[in-house]
Structure 1
Amino acid sequence: MEDIKQFIESGILELYVLGDVSAAERREVEAMIQKYPAVRAEVEEIERALESYAMDNAIEPSEKQRAKVLNSLVVNLADDRIFTKKETVTEPTVISMRPPATNNFYKYAFAASITLFIASLVVIYSLNSKLQEKTQQLIAANVQNQHIAKTVNYMNEQLGVFRDTSFKILHLKGTKNLPDGNMVVAWSSAKKKVMIDLKSLNMPVNDKAHQYQLWALVGGKPVDLGVFDKVEGDSLTMKEMKPIALAQAFAVTREPRGGSVNPTMSEMMVIGQF
């Protein structure tokens, strides 16, 4: 069956219908037509296609040309002088003609170009698959490198805070609203810098309508130090909050997204004092 398919796709059937084949090729095609119905059906389909093409592209003669031909026929038929009284039988003149030389160059060049085209498609598909594979590998490596870089930055940031003797480390403990909650705050009064450790943060993930807000207690009054989110999974960053020089205690409340002017005491999560 594969040989029949290759024979049909070789282009020889189109050349056979057009009469551009050698005697040996014609006999081969006619033998295949007799033997395989699929070949016969393909030849008939080609003939129908060529006939349809000829009909679609036929040129209709002008009315002037049509009238000229018809008038010529009428005149010739009406003139008896063009007929002889005695029918003369003329031997037909037979002129021997050499069969046209068959040029197979274009046929085989066309077949070779098709083969080259298919081979090129196979090579392009293979190269594209390899390129996509390499791209995925590069993406995975880039993600891994970003994760490593993020981890290194967090460790450097954390070590920088804990090595700086001007920072005081305070562990905030959970309230009745969150008994198991805890949080680490690093504060440098000299640098007026406040850092929170999001990696060690033990608090539930806040919803989209709320955020956590950090407060400092200064002279018995709460001072806003900014809002933050608890995201799913472990975060590898230390977040810098608003600066402050004096503080007796730190606390976190849950507030509407964007924060509040005053803390909601009923939503206090963790608190710690020096």
Structure 2
Amino acid sequence: MNSREYIESGILELYVFGKLSETEMQEVQQMAADNPAMRTEIAAIEKAVINLSYSVSPNISSETYNRIREELLGNDPKVIKLKPKTNWAQYMGWAASFIILLGAGLMYLHMNDTMNEKINLEIDKNKTDFEKMQQSVSTMEEKNKAAEDMMEILRDNNNTIVALGGQAVMPSASAKIYWNKTTQTVYVDAKNLPDPPQGMVYQVWSLKMNPLTPTSIGLLEKVMTGSSKMYRVDNTSDAEAFGITLEPEGGSELPTMEQLYALGKV
């Protein structure tokens, strides 16, 4: 059998994977030592094994790949000469199996890391969604509580309702005062007042008529609920009238009469 027939017979593949008897292994080694074509073919088969293992585990680092390649192929693509009693083919088969197992392990670790990352992202997303839901529920509860409080004010028969009509600065403006003389609490419905300009705020005054004595009972800054424009201001015990003026932010000590928007007697 010439070298070409020997190469095409498949014996060299069995040789690389350690499937020949020790006598056959020695025969191949002897022939390869005298035949450059056989040495080249054996090197090509060994390289194919390395490339196959790399395709199984594409994420193996170049450093690890080159170290394994050098262990199997060396820096010289010639046949590795071993002592006759050493089962070189068996070691080669073990090395090829190890590379394939290593590639499978690396693929498993990569897939496991990817899966853990997806699970963590899903947990973070669900946590964020849950926190948003909690916040929405809390906001809804606050709005419902404020709405219930406002309904209690409107239904309280102890409240005196004082209608405040628009004045010269804006005749179309109006407001309502809900004043409980027993508890002295005062609520202001400012729905029909226009939004104050930037840097200005509405200020509410409790008025004694004779002589005219204004007392500030608060600024319309924090609504009770949503867009209701219902405000709670300071208590008062002896009001004869109520007025609302437009003042600079922070309020004024005395009302600016030129900016009197609403006025009404008790």
Answer yes or no: is 1:28 the counterpart of 2:32: no
The answer to whether residue 84 in structure 2 is matched with residue 96 in structure 1 is yes
In structure 2, relative to structure 1, the CA distance for the partners of 1:254 and 1:184 (3 Å cut) is same
Instruction: Tell me the distance in 1 between the aligned counterparts of 2:158 and 2:98.
Output: 88
Shift of 1:234: 4.6
> For residues 221 and 253 of structure 2, what CA distance do their matches in structure 1 show?
18
TM-score, normalised on structure 2? Answer: 0.61
1:145 aligns with 2:122: no
Structure 1 CA distance for aligned equivalents of residues 228 and 139 of structure 2:
9
Q: Tell me the residue number matched to 2:185.
A: 193
Cα deviation code 1:155-206 (max 9, x no counterpart): 22112212322211223232232333222221112211111235x3532144
Structure 1: segments with no counterpart, 5+ residues? 1-21, 35-44, 51-93
Q: Per-residue displacement from partner, 1:97-119 (whole Å, max 9, x unpaired)? A: 42432333643443233112211
Which of 186, 189, 193 is residue 202 of structure 1 equivalent to?
A: 193
Deviation readout 1:20-73 (Å, 9 max, x if unpaired): xx8259533545999xxxxxxxxxx87xx87xxxxxxxxxxxxxxxxxxxxxxx
Does structure 1 residue 215 correspond to structure 2 residue 232? no
Stretches of structure 2 that go unaligned for 5 or more consecutive residues are 1-14, 18-41, 52-61, 68-81
Cα distance change on mapping 1:117 and 1:181 into 2, 3 Å: farther
Residues 209-248 of structure 1: pairs in structure 2 closer than 5 A: 209-219=199-209, 220-229=212-221, 234-236=226-228, 238-248=230-240
Matches within 5 A, 1:239-258: 239-258=231-250
Matched, 1:130 2:122: yes
Q: Separation in 2 of the partners of 1:32 and 1:110?
A: 14
Distance 1:114 1:252 in 2: 76
The question of 1:266 aligning with 2:254 is answered no
Q: 1:174 aligns with which of 151, 166, 173?
A: 166
AA aligned opposite 1:266: E
Out of 120-129 and 254-263, give the one that drifted further. 120-129
Amino acid at match of 2:16: A
- 1:225 Cα deviation from its structure 2 partner: 0.5
Asked if the contact 1:206/1:229 (under 8 Å) is kept, the reply is no
Return the alpha-carbon distance in structure 2 between the equivalents of residues 110 and 254 of structure 1: 79
Contact 2:201 2:247 in 1 (8 A): yes
Alpha-carbon distance in 2 for matches of 1:176, 1:95: 116
Q: Is the 8 A contact 1:154 1:237 kept in 2?
A: no
Mapped partners of 1:221, 1:262: distance in 2: 10
Give the count of matched residue pairs: 198
Distance 1:171 1:118 in 2: 74
Contact 1:195–1:241 (8 Å) recurs in 2? yes
User: Is the alpha carbon distance of 1:23 and 1:110 closer, same or farther for their aligned partners in structure 2, counting shifts above 3 Å?
Assistant: same
Q: 1: CA distance between counterparts of 2:103 and 2:48?
A: 22
The secondary structure found in structure 1 opposite 2:171 is: coil
SS of 1:245's equivalent in the other structure is coil
Identity among equivalent pairs (%): 18
TM-score by length of 1: 0.60
Kindly state the Cα deviation for residue 259 of structure 1 after the two structures are TM-superposed.
1.0
- What is the CA deviation profile of residues 113-142 of structure 1, one whole-angstrom value per residue up to 9, with x for unaligned ones? 311221122212322332243234324422
